[in-house]
Amino acid sequence: MPQATYSAEALTTFANQLLQAAGLSADKAGAVASILVEGDLMGHDTHGLALLGAYLAELESGSMTRDGDPEVIADAPAAVTWDGRRLPGPWLVLRAMELATERAARCGTGTVVIRQSHHIACLAAYHQRATDQGLMLMLTCSDPNTASVAPAGGLDPVFTPNPISAGIPTGGTPVVVDISTAATTNGLTNRLRQEGRKLPAQWLIDGNGRPSDDPAVLFAEPRGTILPLGGIASGHKGYGLSLWVEALTGGLAGHGRADPRRGWGATVFLQVIDPRAFAGLDAFTRQTDEVTRQCRASRPVQPGAPVRTPGERGLALARQQRDAGVTLYPAILATLAPWSAKLGVAMPAHLA
Protein backbone atom coordinates (compact mmCIF):
# COMPACT_ATOMS: atom_id res chain seq x y z
CA MET A 1 0.00 0.00 0.00
CA PRO A 2 1.53 3.35 -0.99
CA GLN A 3 2.29 5.89 1.74
CA ALA A 4 0.07 8.95 2.10
CA THR A 5 1.36 12.18 0.60
CA TYR A 6 0.65 15.76 1.61
CA SER A 7 0.91 19.05 -0.17
CA ALA A 8 3.88 21.12 0.94
CA GLU A 9 1.52 24.06 1.41
CA ALA A 10 -0.74 22.07 3.74
CA LEU A 11 2.20 20.87 5.83
CA THR A 12 3.62 24.40 6.06
CA THR A 13 0.24 25.77 7.12
CA PHE A 14 -0.13 23.00 9.73
CA ALA A 15 3.30 23.69 11.21
CA ASN A 16 2.72 27.44 11.10
CA GLN A 17 -0.61 27.14 12.92
CA LEU A 18 0.85 24.88 15.61
CA LEU A 19 3.74 27.27 16.22
CA GLN A 20 1.44 30.28 16.41
CA ALA A 21 -0.88 28.41 18.78
CA ALA A 22 2.21 27.75 20.92
CA GLY A 23 2.86 31.48 21.14
CA LEU A 24 5.11 32.46 18.22
CA SER A 25 4.33 35.52 16.13
CA ALA A 26 3.30 35.00 12.53
CA ASP A 27 6.71 35.96 11.11
CA LYS A 28 8.65 33.66 13.44
CA ALA A 29 6.21 30.77 12.98
CA GLY A 30 6.28 31.20 9.20
CA ALA A 31 10.07 31.12 9.09
CA VAL A 32 10.33 27.99 11.23
CA ALA A 33 7.54 26.18 9.37
CA SER A 34 9.02 26.91 5.93
CA ILE A 35 12.49 25.66 6.88
CA LEU A 36 11.19 22.50 8.54
CA VAL A 37 9.06 21.57 5.52
CA GLU A 38 11.93 22.39 3.16
CA GLY A 39 14.01 19.81 5.05
CA ASP A 40 11.38 17.13 4.40
CA LEU A 41 11.03 18.19 0.77
CA MET A 42 14.76 17.57 0.30
CA GLY A 43 14.59 14.18 2.04
CA HIS A 44 16.29 15.21 5.32
CA ASP A 45 13.55 13.57 7.34
CA THR A 46 15.31 13.64 10.72
CA HIS A 47 15.68 17.43 10.47
CA GLY A 48 12.33 18.51 9.07
CA LEU A 49 8.92 18.18 10.71
CA ALA A 50 10.40 15.46 12.91
CA LEU A 51 11.76 18.37 14.97
CA LEU A 52 8.45 20.19 15.34
CA GLY A 53 7.22 18.31 18.41
CA ALA A 54 10.46 19.05 20.23
CA TYR A 55 10.28 22.71 19.21
CA LEU A 56 6.72 22.94 20.57
CA ALA A 57 7.86 21.37 23.84
CA GLU A 58 10.68 23.92 24.07
CA LEU A 59 8.19 26.75 23.55
CA GLU A 60 5.90 25.29 26.20
CA SER A 61 8.70 25.01 28.74
CA GLY A 62 10.09 28.47 27.97
CA SER A 63 13.43 27.08 26.79
CA MET A 64 12.76 28.60 23.35
CA THR A 65 12.16 32.36 23.57
CA ARG A 66 8.96 33.52 21.91
CA ASP A 67 9.32 37.27 21.65
CA GLY A 68 11.79 39.98 20.73
CA ASP A 69 14.89 40.37 18.61
CA PRO A 70 18.52 39.31 18.85
CA GLU A 71 20.89 41.51 20.82
CA VAL A 72 23.69 43.08 18.80
CA ILE A 73 27.03 42.32 20.47
CA ALA A 74 29.31 43.74 17.76
CA ASP A 75 28.76 45.39 14.38
CA ALA A 76 31.56 46.04 11.90
CA PRO A 77 30.93 46.69 8.20
CA ALA A 78 31.29 43.03 7.17
CA ALA A 79 31.11 41.25 10.55
CA VAL A 80 28.20 41.15 12.99
CA THR A 81 27.76 39.24 16.25
CA TRP A 82 24.37 38.58 17.80
CA ASP A 83 23.14 37.06 21.01
CA GLY A 84 20.17 35.09 19.75
CA ARG A 85 18.53 34.98 23.19
CA ARG A 86 17.37 31.42 22.41
CA LEU A 87 14.91 32.72 19.83
CA PRO A 88 13.76 30.27 17.11
CA GLY A 89 16.82 29.19 15.12
CA PRO A 90 15.38 29.19 11.59
CA TRP A 91 13.99 32.71 12.07
CA LEU A 92 17.35 33.95 13.35
CA VAL A 93 19.25 32.34 10.46
CA LEU A 94 16.93 33.77 7.81
CA ARG A 95 17.27 37.24 9.35
CA ALA A 96 21.04 36.82 9.52
CA MET A 97 21.07 35.83 5.84
CA GLU A 98 19.24 39.04 4.94
CA LEU A 99 21.73 41.14 6.89
CA ALA A 100 24.76 39.26 5.56
CA THR A 101 23.45 39.68 2.01
CA GLU A 102 23.10 43.45 2.52
CA ARG A 103 26.66 43.66 3.87
CA ALA A 104 28.02 41.48 1.05
CA ALA A 105 26.53 43.89 -1.50
CA ARG A 106 28.63 46.64 0.10
CA CYS A 107 31.74 44.75 1.20
CA GLY A 108 31.89 41.61 -0.97
CA THR A 109 31.26 39.41 2.06
CA GLY A 110 28.99 39.58 5.07
CA THR A 111 29.39 37.40 8.15
CA VAL A 112 27.01 36.98 11.07
CA VAL A 113 27.78 34.80 14.08
CA ILE A 114 25.05 34.03 16.61
CA ARG A 115 25.55 32.91 20.18
CA GLN A 116 22.65 31.31 22.05
CA SER A 117 20.40 30.59 19.10
CA HIS A 118 17.87 27.83 19.48
CA HIS A 119 18.22 24.82 17.15
CA ILE A 120 18.44 25.80 13.45
CA ALA A 121 17.06 22.62 11.78
CA CYS A 122 18.31 21.40 8.37
CA LEU A 123 21.22 23.45 7.04
CA ALA A 124 20.61 22.37 3.42
CA ALA A 125 17.19 24.04 3.56
CA TYR A 126 18.69 27.55 3.54
CA HIS A 127 21.10 27.52 0.64
CA GLN A 128 18.99 27.89 -2.47
CA ARG A 129 17.69 31.21 -1.12
CA ALA A 130 21.26 32.47 -1.55
CA THR A 131 22.28 30.66 -4.74
CA ASP A 132 19.15 31.92 -6.53
CA GLN A 133 20.65 35.40 -6.04
CA GLY A 134 24.06 34.34 -7.38
CA LEU A 135 25.50 34.29 -3.85
CA MET A 136 27.57 31.69 -2.05
CA LEU A 137 26.46 30.86 1.49
CA MET A 138 28.57 29.09 4.09
CA LEU A 139 26.72 27.96 7.20
CA THR A 140 27.83 25.87 10.14
CA CYS A 141 26.83 25.42 13.75
CA SER A 142 27.68 23.67 16.99
CA ASP A 143 25.77 23.01 20.19
CA PRO A 144 27.99 23.70 23.23
CA ASN A 145 25.24 22.49 25.54
CA THR A 146 25.80 18.81 24.80
CA ALA A 147 28.46 16.37 23.59
CA SER A 148 28.08 13.07 21.76
CA VAL A 149 31.20 12.86 19.52
CA ALA A 150 34.62 11.90 20.85
CA PRO A 151 37.85 13.37 19.48
CA ALA A 152 39.91 10.90 17.45
CA GLY A 153 41.61 8.48 19.79
CA GLY A 154 39.38 9.40 22.75
CA LEU A 155 36.53 7.75 24.64
CA ASP A 156 34.89 10.82 26.14
CA PRO A 157 32.65 13.01 23.94
CA VAL A 158 33.52 16.66 23.39
CA PHE A 159 31.55 17.73 20.29
CA THR A 160 28.12 17.51 18.74
CA PRO A 161 28.03 16.18 15.14
CA ASN A 162 28.81 19.74 13.98
CA PRO A 163 27.41 20.20 10.46
CA ILE A 164 29.19 22.18 7.77
CA SER A 165 27.34 23.37 4.70
CA ALA A 166 27.68 25.54 1.62
CA GLY A 167 25.53 26.67 -1.26
CA ILE A 168 27.44 27.31 -4.49
CA PRO A 169 25.77 28.96 -7.48
CA THR A 170 26.27 27.60 -10.97
CA GLY A 171 24.62 28.37 -14.30
CA GLY A 172 22.13 25.56 -13.55
CA THR A 173 21.54 23.37 -10.52
CA PRO A 174 23.45 24.80 -7.55
CA VAL A 175 25.80 22.71 -5.45
CA VAL A 176 24.48 22.26 -1.92
CA VAL A 177 26.90 20.63 0.52
CA ASP A 178 25.54 19.62 3.93
CA ILE A 179 27.65 17.13 5.86
CA SER A 180 28.35 16.26 9.45
CA THR A 181 31.85 16.37 10.89
CA ALA A 182 30.89 13.12 12.65
CA ALA A 183 30.19 9.69 11.20
CA THR A 184 26.46 10.10 11.84
CA THR A 185 23.97 12.39 13.57
CA ASN A 186 22.14 12.48 16.87
CA GLY A 187 18.83 12.57 15.02
CA LEU A 188 19.47 9.30 13.19
CA THR A 189 20.93 7.44 16.17
CA ASN A 190 18.00 8.50 18.37
CA ARG A 191 15.46 7.38 15.76
CA LEU A 192 17.11 4.00 15.20
CA ARG A 193 17.45 3.36 18.92
CA GLN A 194 13.74 4.04 19.44
CA GLU A 195 12.92 1.64 16.59
CA GLY A 196 15.36 -1.04 17.76
CA ARG A 197 17.37 -0.82 14.56
CA LYS A 198 21.09 -0.68 13.76
CA LEU A 199 23.20 1.75 11.77
CA PRO A 200 24.42 0.66 8.33
CA ALA A 201 28.05 0.60 9.52
CA GLN A 202 30.13 0.80 12.70
CA TRP A 203 29.94 4.55 13.14
CA LEU A 204 30.04 4.38 16.95
CA ILE A 205 32.29 3.12 19.71
CA ASP A 206 31.00 1.73 22.98
CA GLY A 207 32.27 2.93 26.34
CA ASN A 208 35.28 0.63 26.09
CA GLY A 209 36.29 1.79 22.61
CA ARG A 210 34.90 -1.15 20.62
CA PRO A 211 33.39 -0.23 17.21
CA SER A 212 29.62 -0.68 17.07
CA ASP A 213 26.61 -0.20 14.80
CA ASP A 214 24.13 -0.31 17.72
CA PRO A 215 22.80 3.11 18.88
CA ALA A 216 22.05 1.56 22.27
CA VAL A 217 25.76 1.91 23.18
CA LEU A 218 25.25 5.68 23.35
CA PHE A 219 22.90 5.19 26.30
CA ALA A 220 24.59 2.28 28.11
CA GLU A 221 27.13 2.70 30.92
CA PRO A 222 29.90 3.43 30.33
CA ARG A 223 28.51 5.64 27.58
CA GLY A 224 29.63 5.14 24.00
CA THR A 225 30.11 7.96 21.52
CA ILE A 226 29.70 8.77 17.84
CA LEU A 227 32.96 8.59 15.91
CA PRO A 228 34.30 11.64 14.07
CA LEU A 229 33.97 11.67 10.29
CA GLY A 230 36.42 9.10 8.93
CA GLY A 231 35.74 6.59 11.69
CA ILE A 232 38.40 4.50 13.36
CA ALA A 233 40.84 4.65 10.44
CA SER A 234 40.65 8.33 9.45
CA GLY A 235 38.81 10.05 12.29
CA HIS A 236 41.56 12.65 12.64
CA LYS A 237 39.98 14.35 9.61
CA GLY A 238 36.57 14.78 11.20
CA TYR A 239 38.25 15.73 14.48
CA GLY A 240 40.08 18.57 12.76
CA LEU A 241 36.90 19.74 11.04
CA SER A 242 35.05 19.68 14.38
CA LEU A 243 37.66 21.94 15.96
CA TRP A 244 37.44 24.26 12.95
CA VAL A 245 33.66 24.54 13.42
CA GLU A 246 34.10 25.21 17.13
CA ALA A 247 36.45 28.11 16.28
CA LEU A 248 34.06 29.59 13.70
CA THR A 249 31.06 29.29 16.03
CA GLY A 250 31.97 29.36 19.71
CA GLY A 251 35.27 31.13 19.13
CA LEU A 252 33.99 34.00 16.99
CA ALA A 253 30.75 34.31 18.96
CA GLY A 254 32.63 34.33 22.26
CA HIS A 255 30.28 31.75 23.74
CA GLY A 256 30.71 27.99 23.70
CA ARG A 257 32.12 25.10 25.66
CA ALA A 258 33.86 27.38 28.15
CA ASP A 259 30.43 28.55 29.37
CA PRO A 260 27.69 26.92 31.49
CA ARG A 261 25.29 24.70 29.58
CA ARG A 262 21.79 25.95 29.00
CA GLY A 263 19.68 23.42 27.10
CA TRP A 264 19.33 22.41 23.45
CA GLY A 265 20.46 25.07 21.02
CA ALA A 266 23.11 26.26 18.61
CA THR A 267 25.99 28.63 18.04
CA VAL A 268 26.00 29.70 14.39
CA PHE A 269 28.50 30.95 11.81
CA LEU A 270 26.97 32.31 8.59
CA GLN A 271 28.85 33.96 5.73
CA VAL A 272 27.52 35.26 2.42
CA ILE A 273 30.04 35.83 -0.38
CA ASP A 274 29.11 37.85 -3.47
CA PRO A 275 31.19 36.70 -6.49
CA ARG A 276 30.44 40.05 -8.14
CA ALA A 277 32.96 41.66 -5.78
CA PHE A 278 35.73 39.29 -6.91
CA ALA A 279 36.27 38.15 -10.51
CA GLY A 280 32.55 38.58 -11.25
CA LEU A 281 29.53 36.30 -11.24
CA ASP A 282 29.95 35.20 -14.88
CA ALA A 283 33.57 34.23 -14.22
CA PHE A 284 32.52 32.39 -11.07
CA THR A 285 29.79 30.35 -12.74
CA ARG A 286 32.04 29.65 -15.74
CA GLN A 287 34.33 27.83 -13.34
CA THR A 288 31.63 26.12 -11.27
CA ASP A 289 29.80 25.03 -14.42
CA GLU A 290 32.94 23.42 -15.82
CA VAL A 291 34.01 21.62 -12.66
CA THR A 292 30.50 20.23 -12.10
CA ARG A 293 30.35 19.23 -15.79
CA GLN A 294 33.57 17.28 -15.37
CA CYS A 295 32.22 15.61 -12.22
CA ARG A 296 29.04 14.47 -13.99
CA ALA A 297 31.09 13.29 -16.98
CA SER A 298 33.23 11.02 -14.79
CA ARG A 299 32.65 7.36 -15.68
CA PRO A 300 30.35 5.86 -13.02
CA VAL A 301 31.55 2.98 -10.87
CA GLN A 302 28.12 1.39 -11.23
CA PRO A 303 26.57 1.47 -14.72
CA GLY A 304 23.30 3.38 -14.68
CA ALA A 305 24.27 5.35 -11.57
CA PRO A 306 25.84 8.54 -12.92
CA VAL A 307 27.86 10.88 -10.76
CA ARG A 308 25.78 13.64 -9.15
CA THR A 309 26.87 16.86 -7.52
CA PRO A 310 26.21 17.38 -3.80
CA GLY A 311 22.61 18.39 -3.21
CA GLU A 312 21.47 17.50 -6.72
CA ARG A 313 19.32 14.61 -5.56
CA GLY A 314 17.75 16.61 -2.72
CA LEU A 315 16.90 19.56 -4.95
CA ALA A 316 15.36 17.25 -7.56
CA LEU A 317 13.36 15.48 -4.85
CA ALA A 318 12.12 18.82 -3.54
CA ARG A 319 10.88 19.82 -7.00
CA GLN A 320 9.17 16.47 -7.41
CA GLN A 321 7.50 16.57 -4.00
CA ARG A 322 6.26 20.12 -4.48
CA ASP A 323 4.44 18.89 -7.58
CA ALA A 324 3.33 15.40 -6.53
CA GLY A 325 3.11 15.72 -2.74
CA VAL A 326 5.41 15.12 0.20
CA THR A 327 5.91 11.62 1.57
CA LEU A 328 6.70 11.98 5.28
CA TYR A 329 8.61 9.49 7.40
CA PRO A 330 5.81 7.35 8.89
CA ALA A 331 6.32 8.28 12.55
CA ILE A 332 6.33 12.05 12.09
CA LEU A 333 2.63 12.90 12.03
CA ALA A 334 1.91 10.35 14.76
CA THR A 335 4.20 12.30 17.10
CA LEU A 336 2.45 15.56 16.16
CA ALA A 337 -1.12 14.28 16.65
CA PRO A 338 -1.08 14.96 20.44
CA TRP A 339 0.07 18.53 19.77
CA SER A 340 -2.68 18.90 17.18
CA ALA A 341 -5.28 17.91 19.78
CA LYS A 342 -3.70 19.96 22.58
CA LEU A 343 -3.39 23.17 20.57
CA GLY A 344 -6.63 22.78 18.60
CA VAL A 345 -5.04 22.65 15.15
CA ALA A 346 -6.48 20.25 12.59
CA MET A 347 -4.15 17.58 11.21
CA PRO A 348 -3.29 18.07 7.53
CA ALA A 349 -5.37 16.13 5.02
CA HIS A 350 -3.44 13.84 2.73
CA LEU A 351 -3.72 14.08 -1.00
CA ALA A 352 -6.17 11.81 -2.79
Q: What is the CATH number of the domain that holds 90?
A: 3.30.1370.60
Element (H, E) at 19: helix 8-21
Burial call 207-233: b when 16+ CB within 10 Å, e when fewer: beeeebebbebbeeeeebbbbbbbbee
Residues across the chain: 352
Structural domain harbouring 68? 5-183+227-287+311-343
Residue 43 within a domain: yes
Contact 104, 277 (CB under 8 A): yes
171 with 22, same domain: the answer is: yes
Position 3 scores a pLDDT of: 77
Tell me, yes or no, whether 236 lies in a domain: yes
Does any domain span residue 301? no
Residues 68 and 191 in one domain: no
**Domain check: are 118 and 212 in the same one?**
no
**Dihedrals phi, psi of 68, to nearest 5 degrees:** 100, -170
Domain-located, residue 292: no
Residues 58 and 134 in one domain: yes
DSSP 8-state symbol, 301: S
52-61 and 331-343 helices cross at what angle (nearest 10)? 30
- Same domain? For 28 and 80 the reply is yes
Please list the pLDDT of the chain residue by residue as tens digits (352 residues).
457 899 999 999 999 999 999 999 999 999 999 999 999 999 999 999 999 999 999 999 999 999 999 999 999 999 999 999 999 999 999 999 999 999 999 999 999 999 999 999 999 999 999 999 999 999 999 999 999 999 999 999 999 999 999 999 999 999 999 999 999 999 999 999 999 999 999 999 999 999 999 999 999 999 999 999 999 999 999 999 999 999 999 999 999 999 999 999 999 999 999 999 999 999 999 999 999 999 999 999 999 999 999 999 999 999 999 999 999 998 999 999 999 999 999 999 999 6
Q: Quick one: 166 and 62 in the same domain?
A: yes
The Cβ-side half-sphere exposure at 136, using a 13 Å CA radius, reads: 19
Q: Which residues contact 325 (CB under 8 A, 6 or more apart)?
A: 5, 6, 7, 8, 350, 351
Residue 65: other Cβ atoms inside 10 A: 18
Give domain status of residue 350, yes or no: no
Q: Are residues 156 and 237 in the same domain?
A: yes
Cα angle 149, 52, 318; round to 5: 90
Same domain, 250 and 148: yes
Provide the pairing of β-strand 136-142 with 163-168. Answer: antiparallel
Residues 192 and 335 in one domain: no
Residues 165 and 31 in one domain: yes
CA distance 149 to 134: 35
Query: Is-contact 81 99, C-beta < 8 A?
Result: no
CA distance 284 to 271: 17
- Among residues 121, 122, 83, 123, the alpha carbon closest in space to that of 262 is found at 83
Task: Give the count of domains, the chain.
Answer: 2
**Domain shared by 315 and 239, yes or no:** yes
Please check whether residues 136 and 259 belong to one and the same domain.
yes
> From the CB of residue 335, how many other CB atoms can be counted at a distance below 10 Å?
13
CATH value at residue 220: 3.30.60.50
DSSP string, 31-78: HHHHHHHHHHHTT-TTSSGGGHHHHHHHHHHTSS--SS-PEEEEEETT
Q: Has residue 72 been placed in a domain? A: yes
Q: Which pLDDT score, from 0 to 100, does residue 256 have?
A: 96
Task: Give the predicted TM-score (pTM) of the model.
Answer: 0.96
Q: Provide the β-strand partners of residue 75.
A: 80
